[in-house]
Amino acid sequence: MYDMHGETVHFDTENNRLCLIDQTKLPNETVILSLHTAEEIYTAIARLQVRGAPAIGVAAAIGLAVLANESAAEASAEFEAEFRKNAAYLISARPTAVNLPWAVGEMQKAFSENRHKSLPEIKAALTRCALGLHAADIDVCRRIGEYGAPLLKNCRAVLTHCNAGRLAAVKYGTALAPVYIAKAQGHAVSVYADETRPLLQGARLTAYELQAAGIEVTAICDNMASYVMQNKLVDAVLVGCDRVARNGDTANKIGTSGVAALAKYYGIPFYVCAPYSTIDFSISSGAEIPIEQRDGAEIGEMWYQIPMLPKGVRTLNPAFDVTDRSLITAFITEKGVLQPSEF
């Protein structure tokens, strides 16, 4: 198996490939994808072979560098047109996570700053930018963990929704980074993981990675979160997110807003862990966040040998919902523990 260096997303510069763990195969099979075409990279993002806002952004950046290095264009104008086409194509793969357009924007900035140079120099600059974003994600997530770990000092267990751990970023993850850092500091915190419909990222991915890391994990169905809180089995909720509006409204995997409302009712702190880059200052509230609608087959067919729903029954399958800022205790970022007024 290709050595991923303990990473979810990796830039194989020797062979000019975007390498990533195919998360659609977990937990039963570990498959490493080695990608070098625009179609392969787009498909990996769209089909959630790579998922989690930070991982998506880094994958797209590396993908653009790979495509630039693969380009056979000889004229600057042709190369630029190709680069911009690929950038727009990858951004269109998923609409909600702001890290995707943000990371592509960083690559576009690197291109613009070097466009007067030779093509080999531009390609080298794009490679450096992608590697820089990759390294920065590792550093950012580690710092999120360091700021978040003290908040867990009196916690025996936490609840999380979806997967915002190592598999959602390059290495540490966001929501689970405080758990990993706390463990490294000698404080073991157990985790209750919502299964997270419809793609079961909590059951398939969060439970998988926590067990592999030696952290006690209990998987529950999404509709059991109230039971867990009511019976005081958890002391805090940690979630990641895909986009934060300027006022603090937050989009995360479908079901997060319900968990936040329950936490508010039961008096349990609800923390959103995310890189500062996840804040979209171009939108004023969550009402402006586009919500991805996915194929209903994910609800009625994907996990069953035969269809579970009667033929002809309609489905509604939003991938995300928006949690109102009033339900959020604080944001844990690489800049510290913040309130929306401190953005």
Pairing of strands 190-194, 217-220: parallel
Q: How far apart are CA 101 and CA 103, in angstroms?
A: 6
Residues of the chain with pLDDT under 70: 1-4
The active-site residue, picked from 137, 242, 249, 280, is 242
Question: Residue 230 has what pLDDT?
Answer: 98
Supply the pLDDT for residue 336: 97
Residue 321 among the catalytic residues: no
| Superfamily the domain 145-342 falls into | Translation initiation factor eif-2b; domain 2 (3.40.50.10470)
Between strands 330-333 and 270-273, the pairing is parallel
**Domains of the chain, residue spans:** 9-142, 145-342
Instruction: Say what the pTM is.
Output: 0.86
Residue 1 pLDDT: 45
Summarised one tens digit per residue, pLDDT across range 11-28 is 999 999 999 999 999 999
How many other CB atoms are found less than 10 A from the CB of residue 222?
17
Q: Which architecture does CATH list for 9-142?
A: Up-down Bundle (1.20)
Q: Give residue-wise pLDDT tens across range 307-316.
A: 999 999 999 9
